[in-house]
Amino acid sequence: MIINPVKETITIGELSLNVQIERTKRKKTISLQVKDNKLTIKAPKAVSKKKLDELIQRKKTWIRERAIINSEEQALRNREFIDNEKFYFRGKAYRLSIIEAQEETVKIAKGLLVVTFIHFKPLDRKVIKQLVENWYLSESIEILKTRTNELAKKMKVQPSGMTVKNYISKWGSCTTHNKISYNWRIIMAPDYIIDYLIIHELSHIIQPNHSKDFWHHVAKYCDSFQTKRKWLRENGHRLVL
């Protein structure tokens, strides 16, 4: 139960954020969330405003970083699918180029992500988005399948199958029957991050949990996996369409 939320505004560097303080009887700890240009603080009723202000000061670097990430994610999610918008593929950024033609295609050429649409049809942004998404899906299936087979041989494991899915909050999974699934958006990441994810999921065939033995197995085939894991945690928000 939220008790009389308090709203105010704070400035951190060049950023201005709305702040909403929510008092609740159920929470025993203080939580902070930055989303949609707003900092939401949930705190027990007994915590003083002075203590919350001190917490904001201590956490202002974190708040600023989260606000920048959130803003960037919003911009990427709000693409209009028009010329010169940025798209990532295998770790590289490509500008969108939309061209009239006699067929609908998507390809990378001369540093651009080129989408052609049939010239006698009206230019529909939903159509462009669907063409780009279908291309990503097709590319991810081909690349992930090939690389999974290569790494599985190296690791001496045998997945029972591989699929690409539209996961919301995870990058991959391995079932108890050793079937591997990937979030197709991983194809936007650099190849070394893609390899880390594949090795991670293939390692679950040997170790179905995240024990020390599991991470030891990952380390055998993926140098500096901690750095790659951190990259995915910090940059995964950019891998959106």
Type and span of the H or E element at 106: strand 105-109
| Phi then psi dihedrals of residue 31, to 5 deg | -125, 145
Residue 129 domain-assigned (yes or no): no
Question: Is 96 a member of any domain?
Answer: no
pTM of the complete model: 0.75
Residue 161 forms part of a structural domain: yes
Joined tokens for residue 238: 């950019």
Identify the pLDDT of residue 1: 45
Structural domain includes residue 210 = yes
| 179-208: b (≥16 Cβ within 10 Å) or e | ebbbbbbbbbbeeebbbbbbbbbbbbbebe
Q: How far is it, in rounded angstroms, from Cα 175 to Cα 41?
A: 37
Strand partners, 35: 38
CATH number for position 160 = 3.30.2010.10
Give me the helices (H) in the chain, please. Answer: 49-58, 60-77, 125-155, 191-206, 212-221, 225-235
How many domains is the chain built from? 2
pLDDT score at 26:
66
Phi, psi of 41 (to 5 degrees): -115, 125
End position of a domain, from candidates 52, 77, 102: 77
pLDDT at site 2: 46
Task: Let me know if residue 140 belongs to a domain.
Answer: no
**Domain membership flag for residue 222:** yes
- In order along its 241 residues, the chain shows pLDDT tens digits of 445 556 677 777 667 788 888 888 766 788 888 887 788 888 888 888 888 888 888 988 888 888 877 777 777 778 889 999 999 999 999 999 999 888 899 999 999 999 998 876 777 888 899 999 999 999 999 999 999 999 999 999 999 999 999 988 899 999 999 999 999 999 999 999 999 999 999 999 999 999 999 999 999 999 999 999 999 988 888 898 8
Distance CA(186)–CA(144), nearest Å, equals: 9
Residue 130 lies in a domain: no
- Residue 42 belongs to a domain: yes
The burial of 113, by beta-carbon neighbours within 10 Å (0-12 exposed, 13-18 middle, 19 or more buried), is given as buried
**Where does a domain end: 44, 77, 110?**
77
Region label for 178, one of left (φ > 0), alpha (ψ between -120 and 50) or beta (otherwise): left
Alpha carbon 69 to its chain's center:
11
Structural domain of 177: 151-238
pLDDT (0 to 100) of residue 10 = 72
